[in-house]
């Protein structure tokens, strides 16, 4: 048994549930240098937080995130709250010498993300690690996709098309939620879904988005809220064209109105020697094309072989993994980086880069879609 590391998690909704599963099980499958101890979970409502602690296996419940951060038995703070609280919690935790895993998008504004990145870089000099939770990097098929591009199997990348399609807002009468309020969520489909595909596209191609032309839309401007109706203050859908530092052309679309598509996070990349395509609704598969004669064709690679990224820790070929495993992989990578004294990826700086793309999208949309370069791309 390796040394324990105390984890404190803030937030216990959907993200809290999957993160808990990851912390509870990661060391059962991966040879991590630190074994997580589920020290405390934080939430505003005492009763519900206590219930969450019992359900998900946390030793203690805290109603004040500052108390949670300050606990001696918490060495790693996992932030699973809405975006408006990320900066404050992360900066405080890093200052307190706690490693930080922060859900995406990193923040609600570029300014917050900049402050967080500065704090993270300062903390790193003290050996305190931070990571932003772009869990889709840990889908084995996406990790394999990156490897194929990095190995030159696709040649020069020319096209990227990325969509993230959900449909849970298709019904105009589905009720208001915090995800539709700008002050809580920062943005709508853009930050929730668009952030994932911007990060995934950059991760897979190893190239950065340098400029965008964008349009945003709010199809349903107000929704039922209690007895009345509340204004939706974020985008329902975001579409944008993009250029990558490599010269590749990109198209992006994030929406919660693609009826029938439940979690269709899709990425297609075309290069001069090969292509690949991915759809999260078939997350164990990667389509790969390599130009090699008349019997070429897109191969359906079942990414379940022991040689594939992360897969060796799990089951035999053809025995599929699910959504939650991406978080287990994320936890393994973070614990390994902490144990190795290395900076984990994606860093807060990576999260900031994505935030800048999102900000450029909003700016372009406000300026009649005029091309907008990403400030401070590095």
State residue 286 phi and psi, 5-degree precision: -130, 130
The interface region with its own copies, picked from 93-101, 194-202, 311-319, 335-343 by CB under 8 A, is 311-319
Out of 219, 245, 246, 363, the only residue in the binding site for its own copies (CB under 8 A) is 219
Closest CA to 136 of 11, 336, 286: 286
Out of 63, 85, 170, 246, the only residue in the binding site for its own copies (CB under 8 A) is 170
Q: How far apart are CA 256 and CA 317, in angstroms?
A: 33
Q: Which of residues 257-296 bind its own copies (CB under 8 A)?
A: 257-264, 268, 270-275, 280-284, 288-289, 291, 294-296
Is the CB of 258 or the CB of 352 nearer to its own copies? 258
Q: How far apart are CA 80 and CA 58, in angstroms?
A: 15
Q: How far apart are CA 253 and CA 160, in angstroms?
A: 12
Is the CB of 61 or the CB of 119 nearer to its own copies? 61
The order of strands in the sheet holding 34-42 is 60-62, 34-42, 3-10, 76-79, 99-103, 130-133
DSSP string, 135-191: GGGGSHHHHHHHHHHHTTTT-SEEEEEEEEE--TT-STTSPP-GGG-HHHHSSSHII
Is the CB of 224 or the CB of 317 nearer to its own copies? 317
Q: Which of residues 124-163 bind its own copies (CB under 8 A)?
A: 144, 148, 158-159, 161, 163
Is the CB of 178 or the CB of 323 nearer to its own copies? 323
- Using CB under 8 A as the binding rule, whether residue 187 contacts its own copies is answered as no
Dig out the tokens for 3 from the structure.
């040394």
Q: Which of residues 97-126 bind its own copies (CB under 8 A)?
A: none
Residue 155 CB contacts under 8 Å (≥ 6 apart), including other chains: 271, 272, 273, 274
The interface region with its own copies, picked from 65-73, 96-104, 214-222, 226-234 by CB under 8 A, is 214-222
Out of 25, 63, 177, 245, the only residue in the binding site for its own copies (CB under 8 A) is 25
Is the CB of 23 or the CB of 348 nearer to its own copies? 23
Smallest distance from its own copies to CB 19, Å: 12
76 within 8 A of 337, measured Cβ to Cβ: no
The interface region with its own copies, picked from 84-92, 114-122, 168-176, 354-362 by CB under 8 A, is 168-176
Q: How far apart are CA 108 and CA 321, in angstroms?
A: 31
Is the CB of 67 or the CB of 210 nearer to its own copies? 210
The interface region with its own copies, picked from 36-44, 166-174, 334-342, 352-360 by CB under 8 A, is 166-174
Out of 28, 44, 66, 126, the only residue in the binding site for its own copies (CB under 8 A) is 28
Q: How far apart are CA 92 and CA 236, in angstroms?
A: 32
The DSSP H or E segment spanning 264 is strand 264-271
Smallest distance from its own copies to CB 5, Å: 17
Is the CB of 253 or the CB of 362 nearer to its own copies? 253
Q: Which of residues 41-60 bind its own copies (CB under 8 A)?
A: 54-57
Q: How far apart are CA 300 and CA 318, in angstroms?
A: 12
Is the CB of 100 or the CB of 204 nearer to its own copies? 204
Closest CA to 324 of 80, 36, 19, 79: 19
Out of 61, 214, 234, 352, the only residue in the binding site for its own copies (CB under 8 A) is 214
Closest CA to 263 of 272, 274, 271, 254: 254
Out of 88, 305, 343, 363, the only residue in the binding site for its own copies (CB under 8 A) is 305
The interface region with its own copies, picked from 60-68, 112-120, 123-131, 363-371 by CB under 8 A, is 363-371
- Using CB under 8 A as the binding rule, whether residue 328 contacts its own copies is answered as no
Smallest distance from its own copies to CB 272, Å: 6
Q: How far apart are CA 354 and CA 21, in angstroms?
A: 27
């Amino acid at each position: 048994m390796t040394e324990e590391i105390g984890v404190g998690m803030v937030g216990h909704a959907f993200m809290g549930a999957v993160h808990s599963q990851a912390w509870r099980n990661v060391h059962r499958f991966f040879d991590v240098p630190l074994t997580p101890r589920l020290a405390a979970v934080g939430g505003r409502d005492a009763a519900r937080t206590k219930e969450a602690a019992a359900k998900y296996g946390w030793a203690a419940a805290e109603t004040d995130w500052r108390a949670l951060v300050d606990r001696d038995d918490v060495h790693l703070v996992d932030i699973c709250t809405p975006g408006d609280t990320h900066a404050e919690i992360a900066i405080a935790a890093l200052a307190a010498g706690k490693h930080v895993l922060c859900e995406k998008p990193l923040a609600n504004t570029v300014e917050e993300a900049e402050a967080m990145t500065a704090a993270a870089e300062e903390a790193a000099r003290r050996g305190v690690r931070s990571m932003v939770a772009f869990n889709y990097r840990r889908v084995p098929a996406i990790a394999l996709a990156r490897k194929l591009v990095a190995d030159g199997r696709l040649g020069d990348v020319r096209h990227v098309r990325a969509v993230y399609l959900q449909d849970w807002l298709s019904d105009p009468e589905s009720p208001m939620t915090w995800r539709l309020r700008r002050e809580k969520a920062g943005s709508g489909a853009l930050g929730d879904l668009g952030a994932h595909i911007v990060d995934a596209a950059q991760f897979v191609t190893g190239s950065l988005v340098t400029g965008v032309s964008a349009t945003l839309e709010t199809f349903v401007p107000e929704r039922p809220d209690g007895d009345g109706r509340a204004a939706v203050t974020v985008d329902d859908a975001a579409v944008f064209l993009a250029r990558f530092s490599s010269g590749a052309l990109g198209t992006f679309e994030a929406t919660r109105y693609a009826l029938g598509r439940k979690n269709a996070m899709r990425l297609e990349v075309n290069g001069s020697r090969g292509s690949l395509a991915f759809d999260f609704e078939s997350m164990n598969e990667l389509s790969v094309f390599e130009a090699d004669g008349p019997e070429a064709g897109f191969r359906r690679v079942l990414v379940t072989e022991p040689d594939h990224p992360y897969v060796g820790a799990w089951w035999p070929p053809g025995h599929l993994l699910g959504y939650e495993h991406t978080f287990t992989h994320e936890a393994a990578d973070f614990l390994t980086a902490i144990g190795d004294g290395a900076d984990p990826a994606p860093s807060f700086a990576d999260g900031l880069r994505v935030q800048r793309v999102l900000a450029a999208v909003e700016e372009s949309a406000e300026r009649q879609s005029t091309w907008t370069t990403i400030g401070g791309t590095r």
